[in-house]
Amino acid sequence: MTDVTLPSLGESVTEGIVTRWFKKVGDVVVRDEPLFEVSTDKVDSEMPSPAAGVLTEILAAEGDTVATGSRVAVIDERETASQSPREAATTPRASTAVETIEPAKISGPNPFPGPSEVGGVVVSPVVRRILADAGVEPGSIRGSGPGGSITRRDAERAVANGPTDDVVIPLSNGRRRMGEHMASSVQTTPHGFVAIEVDASIFDRLDEVARETRDGVAITDDVLVGLAAVRALGEFEFLNATFAGDELVVHRTVNLGFLRVVEGDGMLVPVVHAAAGLTLRALARRVAELLERIDSRHLTTDDLMGGTFTIVGPPSEHSLVVTPIIIQPQVAVLSVGSVRRVPVVALHDDEPVVEAGRRLVLGLSFDHRVCEPVSAAAYLERVAELLAGLDLESER
């Protein structure tokens, strides 16, 4: 007799739910053919038979929760004939029958109720479904599983339009460092996040005068918002701060970091030092100089050091909001969504009218040790007020 137990289903998984038996008591089973299906909080899996013989007992019914290592069935290996005694009395040599799969004739809610044999090879329901959906005949595939059985990978490879082998890509040093830094930030900082939608009609005015300074330097969305963000920090100094151990250092100088993606190697945050007091023209020029040094690989260590507050621009033109991780040892980071054209309700002579407008979502990730949602929202609203009130003619 062979006991069938629920095997280990992965790290931290201690139990599973038996969702379906593919065989019933008295049925002949073949070693490694799917015997039952088990569901966990991570994955649904088909469990193979550990031996060949006759299934004599089922100890866990469908729907039972079973701990890993527990007995769920018993197989009598002494009954190794191609059929069980019960089958012999009704349908002689039934176990040697070959099922013919015709995908075009398959119908009904569950056309693949259990495992079967195709050309003498066991084919699981999952494999049959994959092949049938793609119109691939199982007989045309050479299986790589035990006894030549067709595995799920065999089926996926057979119906794929390209290679299915896994590709191993080592992490670059930049991405590894980025991951370590972000993991450290999440572990040490109690993150909070607030987002508000604001009027972005300033961008209509920017389009009218051209999206560049009088010197021909491009004005990006995050540069324009960054100008308002820096000025708002004058009223919310506790957000322009860094932690030094258990002490909070509030900085009088705003060193504004702009997150930039470096293709294939993670992200960099070049810093505009002493950003408070800059005009839009000066801020755009400073950011353009930093970007040029990134592209030419002439960025220095000083260009990346000393940031006290960071702004993250929209990753795509369709991004509504980003929830960034705070860059240590800072206490806040401002995210800028994409500027969208949307229908808005405006009042004309006290009458509501739907018209085209522009909107923008601003978000703030903040350290709960120095801020709470009310203050974070108040800061975002002040940024919106300053953004709407910018004098583009004089600033650019």
19 or 311: which leads in pLDDT? 311
pLDDT of residue 282: 96
Among 66-75, 82-91, 215-224, 264-273, which is the least confidently predicted range?
Answer: 82-91
Residue 169 has which token pair?
């890509």
Delimit the CATH 2.40.50.100 region(s) of the chain.
2-159
pLDDT tens sequence across 284-339: 999 999 999 888 888 888 899 999 999 999 989 899 999 999 999 999 999 999 99
Rounded to 5°, the CA angle 47-148-50 comes to 30
Cα 16 from Cα 38, distance rounded (Å):
6
What is the number of H-type helices and E-type strands within the chain?
Answer: 9, 21
Please say if the pLDDT value at position 98 is more than 80: no
Delimit the CATH 3.30.559.10 region(s) of the chain.
173-395
CATH architecture of the domain formed by 2-159: Beta Barrel (2.40)
Mean pLDDT across the chain, nearest whole number? 84
220 or 129: which leads in pLDDT? 220
Interior/surface letters 198-224, b for 16+ CB within 10 angstroms, e for the rest: bebbbbeebeeeeeebeeebebbbbbb
pLDDT of residue 43: 61
Among 76-85, 110-119, 132-141, 361-370, which is the least confidently predicted range?
Answer: 110-119
Q: Which residue has the tokens 């866990």?
A: 60
pLDDT of residue 120: 54
112 or 25: which leads in pLDDT? 25
Please say if the pLDDT value at position 27 is more than 80: yes
Q: Which residue has the tokens 């909080």?
A: 41
pLDDT of residue 373: 97
Q: Which residue has the tokens 């209509």?
A: 204
pLDDT tens sequence across 103-150: 333 344 444 444 455 555 556 777 888 888 888 888 788 777 656 778
> pTM score, two decimals?
0.62
Please say if the pLDDT value at position 74 is more than 60: yes
pLDDT of residue 119: 53
Count Cβ atoms below 10 Å from residue 253 Cβ, excluding itself. 12
Which range of 6-15, 148-157, 309-318 scores highest in mean pLDDT? It is 309-318
pLDDT of residue 113: 47
pLDDT tens sequence across 224-243: 999 999 999 999 999 999 99
pLDDT of residue 143: 78
Contact 26, 87 (CB under 8 A): yes
160 or 198: which leads in pLDDT? 198
CATH architecture of the domain formed by 173-395: 2-Layer Sandwich (3.30)
